[in-house]
Amino acid sequence: MLRYILRRILLMIPTLLVTSALIFTVMELPPSDYFETYVAEMAAQGEKADTSRIEFLRREYGFDKPIIERYFLWITGFVQGDFGYSFEYEMPVRDVVGERLALTVLVSVCTILMTWIVAFPIGIYSATHQYSWGDYGLTFLGLLGIAIPHFLLALIFMYFANVWFGLSIGGLMDPVYFNQPMSWEKAQSILAHLWIPVIIIGAGGTGTMVRAIRANLLDELQKQYYVTAKAKGLPPGKALRKYPLRMSLNFFVSHIGDVLPSIVSGSELTAVVLSLQTTGPLLLRALQSQDMYLAGSFLLFLSCLTVVGVLISDIALAFLDPRIRLQGGSTK
């Protein structure tokens, strides 16, 4: 196991290097950079940009150097914890992300926990009561959650909250706490606003997980080892927990590679609609304004989380299912 983990970690290095090179190349593809876009926007507004400051920033962050040299400056700084400078916000990327990253992790973790808590009992019930009225009803609700986009569900929630109750449900806290240090009152405000985005974002994921658990568990319930276990007198509940349920969790464990980056990125469009103070809208704005260090560092961080998540899921699968081996080859 240790040898396998070391080999996978060594493989991560070239993978992330290639990924970082692709991200940097894509960020360099537009014919103009942030500074040229900024000057054009200021000119369109009838204002004059501070050209001396722009030239200083160009030299400070190597925009007057070849692209290869700029890439190595960026990637070496990233490894050392220097994620670069956000030109739009005029502060280091680490400070820009700041509280937004913590709020994104809070929303995403709560959403994932809600999805698991709701989806597992429903999926198990639907599989063990196949073609019952309960199965049909829960399947219909799950399909609704999958079919309705998150941002559309957010718009529906906002409309009815405003029409029926005269409330605005946008944001993760009351406006008075924006850009304020964390306090007990601010934490209470966040918790009071948290349940709405958790329900909206988790609706689609819950429906998808219910369908996956139901399908995988139904497949395991029809296999010979489960039929034999019941024929030998093992109680149905114990037989279900010990064998089919454990085997049907393979898809869930393999999904960890997607879960880790989603914890940080969040649901971007839903966050924009609900005006959530998370990192999703921050990434979209950075891509639109060509704030390359903010966008590039964010995308590379998500790539790191993806490869780490895949490694964790592979190791967990080997422990969960004895049929899975860490490497190929026949066994005797």
Cα dihedral 46→51→57→62 (10° resolution): 110
Which tokens belong to 245? Answer: 């349920």
What whole-number distance in Å separates Cα of residue 186 and Cα of residue 197?
Answer: 17
Q: What's the Cα-to-Cα distance from 35 to each of 22, 24, 42, 331, 332, rounded to whole Å?
A: 22, 17, 11, 61, 64
pLDDT confidence of residue 327? 57
Phi, psi of 181 (to 5 degrees): -65, 155
pLDDT confidence of residue 322? 65
pTM attached to this predicted model = 0.76
pLDDT confidence of residue 328? 52
Count CA atoms closer than 13 A to 144's CA, side-chain side: 8
Low-confidence ranges of the chain (pLDDT < 50): 332
pLDDT confidence of residue 264? 67
pLDDT confidence of residue 324? 66
pLDDT confidence of residue 18? 92
